[in-house]
């Protein structure tokens, strides 16, 4: 049986969900999206995810189509069971009467959401490569125009790696679908927010958990040369959580396995998830 999805006010089987070929998301990639993890039936940091959605919409000249309460009601219908899962939601500018680059007036947005299981992250860590960033200059917008990210991730997969770490002007930015953190001299370092990286919700949570554990943190630019000096490298994302990079460009990172600081933050992150599950049961 097809899973149920939400599309423009209706809940229907995935196989029946259709959009017009004149939808601007289809024609131009004119839209934004969010991915929200769900643990114990409760979305993680829902408010923060919806604020980021609103900011992405504002940056592409769109108004929020729904209130937080309306989004929550949709998600409650889509979430099934208490297993780990994730909500994917997408907002496009909608269906115009003709294909034209100019933003049309009076067009209703297309709203889509679905909920799917989260695959467990690789327990032993991943291999990654460094690549030159070929994306646009507004990576802070969580836009559905992801062709550059697709090509960069595939470049990594073609070498047997799982992720690409993107470099621009000699500076480390993020992964093709993740934020990056490195450990230098016991300090957890991550690039600062700005137009060049996505403001990751998981990134922010890991920094908060690190501070609570007494781990020194810095948000600053990272030179490419510092990657080779890092004792640990992590990738963070909503569905892959905190993922240790154990090999970079064919060379081991640290001792070639998940490091001790990762173990501390991994434990704290799992405890945070468990607290969310317990609050869902109690609520």
Question: Could you tell me how many residues make up the chain?
Answer: 283
Residue 266 has pLDDT above 60, yes or no: yes
Enclosing H/E stretch for 85: strand 85-92
* Beta carbons of 7 and 17 less than 8 angstroms apart: yes
* Beta carbons of 118 and 87 less than 8 angstroms apart: no
Residue 244 has pLDDT above 90, yes or no: yes
pLDDT tens-digit series, residues 88-136: 999 999 999 999 999 999 999 999 999 999 988 887 899 999 999 999 9
pLDDT at 281: 78
pLDDT tens-digit series, residues 58-93: 999 999 999 999 999 999 999 998 899 999 999 999
Give me the percent of the chain exceeding a pLDDT of 70.
99
- Check: CATH 2.30.40.10 for 126-273? no
pLDDT at 1: 54
* Beta carbons of 182 and 229 less than 8 angstroms apart: no
Query: Phi, psi at residue 271, to the nearest 5°?
Result: -65, -35
pLDDT tens-digit series, residues 170-190: 999 999 999 999 999 999 999
Tell me the CATH architecture of domain 4-117. 2-Layer Sandwich (3.30)
Task: Say whether 50 sits in a helix, a strand or coil.
Answer: helix
pLDDT tens-digit series, residues 10-52: 999 999 999 999 999 999 999 999 999 999 999 999 999 999 9
DSSP labels for 57-83?
A: HHHTT---SS-HHHHHHHHHHH--SSS
* Mean pLDDT along residues 152-162: 97
pLDDT at 93: 98
* Mean pLDDT along residues 150-165: 98
Distance between CA 181 and CA 237 in Å, rounded?
A: 11
| Exposure string over 50-64, b if 16+ CB within 10 A, otherwise e | bebbeebbeebebeb
Structure tokens at 176: 């093709």
Give the domain ranges of the chain. 4-117, 126-273
Q: Which residues are catalytic, by number?
A: 142
Tokens 């802070």 sit on residue: 140
Most distant CA pair in the chain: distance in Å?
58
pLDDT at 2: 75
Look up the pTM and report it.
0.95
Handedness of CA 11, 14, 16, 21 (dihedral sign): positive
pLDDT at 123: 77
């Amino acid at each position: 049986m097809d899973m149920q999805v939400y599309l423009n006010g209706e809940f229907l089987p995935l196989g029946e969900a259709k959009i017009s070929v004149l939808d601007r998301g289809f024609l131009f990639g004119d839209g934004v999206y969010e991915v929200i993890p769900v643990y114990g039936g409760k979305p993680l940091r829902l408010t923060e995810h919806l604020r980021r959605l609103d900011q992405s919409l504002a940056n592409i000249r769109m108004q929020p189509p729904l209130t937080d309460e309306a989004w929550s009601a949709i998600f409650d219908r889509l979430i099934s069971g208490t297993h780990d899962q994730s909500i994917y939601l997408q907002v496009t500018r909608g269906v115009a009467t003709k294909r034209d680059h100019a933003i049309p007036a009076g067009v209703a947005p297309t709203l889509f959401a679905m909920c799917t299981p989260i695959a467990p992250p690789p327990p032993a860590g991943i291999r990654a490569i460094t690549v030159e960033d070929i994306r646009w200059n507004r990576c802070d917008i969580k836009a559905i125009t992801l062709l550059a990210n697709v090509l960069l991730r595939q470049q990594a997969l073609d070498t047997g790696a799982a992720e690409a770490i993107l470099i621009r002007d000699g500076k480390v930015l993020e992964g093709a679908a993740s934020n990056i953190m490195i450990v230098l001299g016991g300090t957890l370092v991550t690039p600062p927010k700005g137009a060049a990286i996505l403001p990751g919700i998981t990134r922010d949570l890991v920094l908060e958990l690190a501070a609570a554990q007494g781990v020194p943190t810095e948000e600053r630019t990272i030179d490419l040369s510092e990657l080779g000096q890092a004792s640990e490298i992590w990738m963070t994302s909503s569905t892959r959580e905190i993922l240790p990079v154990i090999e970079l460009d064919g060379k081991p990172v640290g001792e070639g396995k998940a490091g001790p600081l990762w173990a501390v933050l991994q434990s704290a992150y799992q405890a945070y998830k468990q607290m969310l599950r317990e609050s869902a049961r109690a609520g």
